[in-house]
Amino acid sequence: MEEQTLKVQKIRNGIVIDHIPCGMALKVLKILNINGDIGSTVSLVMHVKSRMGCKDVVKIEDRFLDEREIDKIALIAPTATVNVIENYKVVNKHKVELPDEIVGIVKCMNPRCITNQREPVVSEFKVISKNPVILKCKYCEREMGVEDIIENIL
């Protein structure tokens, strides 16, 4: 039986987020606030077989990421790479890196935490595990896993 391949169209300018853990591509789109009204082409490929097992890939035309967005991706897809595409060519490729501390990107899920009160305190978390990702609030010491992080990302 002849093997068929499905090809995704190349993008002229934008980003390709590759090596996303299997099944996490929709969550990457969610944390980047990408929905149906983006106005650009978004290609999403899930459960692709690769040398490392299974991965997802997201291509977003005419969109680039700032450092804060890359840090958000690192929180839920620490194995991802971000490729910057210009004129159909990869001009920059880098692996996301989960920092040891996360500041102002995630809201603490503890409603009694000082960061959720009327005080002007920015949330801060220490990364206590990178695989799986687990954060610990600097103020109330509440621990958060990936699902909690996705629901509380700013």
The count of other CB atoms within 10 Å of the CB of residue 58 is 25
Query: Using CA of residue 125, residue 126, residue 128, residue 133, what is the dihedral sign?
Result: positive
Measured distance CA(129)–CA(102) in Å, rounded: 13
Ligand-binding site membership of 140 (annotated): yes
- Helix boundaries (H) for 12-139: 25-31, 67-76
Instruction: Spell out the residues 6+ positions from residue 10 whose beta carbon is closer than 8 angstroms to its own.
Output: 88
Ligand-binding site membership of 22 (annotated): no
Ligand-binding site membership of 113 (annotated): yes
Give the annotated binding-site residues for Zn(2+): 108, 113, 137, 140
Give the annotated binding-site residues: 108, 113, 137, 140
